[in-house]
Amino acid sequence: MKSNNKKPEIKMSNTTKKTTTTIEEIEAKKVTLEAVGYPFNFNYMESAQLEISNKKLFEEYAKEQWLGIEAKKEGFLFDQKIVPDYGFKILEVEPENSIITEETKIIIIDNKLTLKEENTPLKYNVNFDDIIGQKNAKNKIKIIKKYMENPEIFGQWAPQNILFYGLPGTGKTMLAKALSNNLNIPLYLVKATSLIGDHVGDSARQIHELFESASKNAPSLIFIDEIDAIALHRQYQSLRGDVSEIVNSLLTELDGINPNEGVVTIAATNNVGFLDTAVRSRFEEEIEFKLPTTEERKEILQKNIETMPIKVNIDIDKVAKMSKNMSGRDLKQKILKTALHHAFSEEKDELDMKDIEYAFKQSKVKIQNEVKDMYE
């Protein structure tokens, strides 16, 4: 090596077999790759990571140099043009041991999980009966059910964007899961913060890919949780940072500029008053999720107690009254679960009111700390 500022030229051959495609050989329909870096450690290199700015362009570039190569799962392909000897691991081949042709779709995934991989549509085993209360919300989403069952008859009257708002733990995400399960349609469950890209253009691309995938799998639901994380009102500029790219891209999709027939977007927020007015105006329906009443808290307690791994001997009426202003999630996580852990730590065979009282004392400390953290 003459200089530490120049990478030594190392001639590597592909570990996969290059051949001429014959009638007997199988053409690869899809090859999924992961960039893994160089096979050698050069002292001058700070990083072996490769940043690919245009995945579609990379696909054409890859096919041009790997045409006719036999792709095997867990094998490797090496770049011999722009970045000589840079390695790509073959994660998947469809079908196995097939030949790369001009028709092969080549997919490159990032070393870290991207939005596209995170948001594969999933099915959830949640039913409407699992959500206690929220009768108004359940009633209002009937329009979504009607639309998903017969999207072609709605035309311009189709529901597009719905906003769920209310305190944490009141069932916003659960209702979206139950709706998806009830209709047997895919649900794209997205945390708003996962839409924020590291580089210019990332956010716009990720949002476009999300809606494009949902459209291909229509009818489908997109649920964007904690949308205020990216769509804060402009008066909170110091908190929101520069999110103009992501907001503009989101507005484009919510406006329906790209046809997304059979796709309904539901966004959720705990702080509806903090939302950017431009974003908020795109939602034709705002559905409030309220804290449970005393009777609903009794029902939530009873439903959860039935599944607990210990005998429970408590005054449910008393606990329901003690838990005023608590959400369903608070009741389960902060009261029942804490009480259960306390009973086990005391080596008791039965959970009683002493465990419940302990949980209430602990929950007050937690609530105070949570409020304090919001202002620090």
DSSP 65-84: HHTTBEE-TT-EEE--SSST
Confidence of residue 56 (pLDDT cuts 50, 70, 90): confident
Specify burial of residue 256 (Cβ count, 10 A radius: 0-12, 13-18, 19+). middle
Q: Which of 37-46, 226-235, 254-263, 359-368 is predicted least confidently?
A: 37-46
Confidence of residue 259 (pLDDT cuts 50, 70, 90): low
Contacts of 130 (CB under 8 A, 6+ apart): 174, 178
**Looking at the predicted structure, is the pLDDT value of residue 371 above 50?**
no
Q: Are strands 30-37 and 87-94 parallel, antiparallel or unpaired?
A: antiparallel
Listed as own residue / partner, the contacts of 338-345 with beta carbons closer than 8 Å and 24 or more positions apart are 338/362, 338/363, 340/308, 340/309, 340/310, 343/310, 344/310
Tell me, yes or no, if the pTM score tops 0.75.
no
Query: Rounded distance, CA 208 to CA 206, Å?
Result: 5
The tens digit of pLDDT for each residue in 179-199 reads: 999 999 999 998 888 777 655
| Closest alpha carbon to 30 in 101, 110, 112, 116 | 101
Mean pLDDT of the chain: 80
**Looking at the predicted structure, is the pLDDT value of residue 374 above 50?**
no
Amino acid code (one letter) for 102? E
**Looking at the predicted structure, is the pLDDT value of residue 341 above 80?**
yes
Question: Tell me, what's the pLDDT at 247?
Answer: 82
**Looking at the predicted structure, is the pLDDT value of residue 375 above 70?**
no
The tens digit of pLDDT for each residue in 216-253 reads: 888 999 999 989 888 877 665 444 455 677 788 888 88
Question: Tell me, what's the pLDDT at 271?
Answer: 87
Amino acid code (one letter) for 346? E
Contacts of 210 (CB under 8 A, 6+ apart): 115, 116, 119, 188, 190, 195, 222
Compute the radius of gyration of the chain from its Cα atoms.
27
Contacts of 224 (CB under 8 A, 6+ apart): 190, 192, 195, 265, 266, 267, 268
Question: Tell me, what's the pLDDT at 224?
Answer: 93
| Closest alpha carbon to 205 in 244, 246, 170, 238 | 246
Contacts of 94 (CB under 8 A, 6+ apart): 28, 29, 30, 31
The tens digit of pLDDT for each residue in 64-91 reads: 888 888 888 888 888 877 677 778 888 8
Buried b (16+ CB within 10 A) or exposed e, 283-319: beeebebbbbeeebbbbbbeebbeeeeeebebeeeeb
Question: Tell me, what's the pLDDT at 243?
Answer: 66
Query: Rounded distance, CA 308 to CA 332, Å?
Result: 11
Question: Tell me, what's the pLDDT at 15?
Answer: 44
Whether the CA torsion 226, 232, 238, 240 is positive or negative: it is positive
DSSP 81-106: SSSTT-EEEEEEEESTTEE--TT-EE
Phi then psi for residue 344, to 5 deg, are -65, -40
Question: Tell me, what's the pLDDT at 376?
Answer: 41
Percentage of the residues of the chain whose pLDDT score is greater than 70? 76
- Bigger pLDDT: 332 or 24? 332
The tens digit of pLDDT for each residue in 95-127 reads: 888 899 888 888 887 543 344 444 567 778 899
* 13, 53 contact by CB (below 8 A): no
Amino acid code (one letter) for 240? R
Q: Which of 8-12, 217-221, 289-293 is predicted least confidently?
A: 8-12
- Bigger pLDDT: 263 or 21? 263
Query: Rounded distance, CA 74 to CA 272, Å?
Result: 48
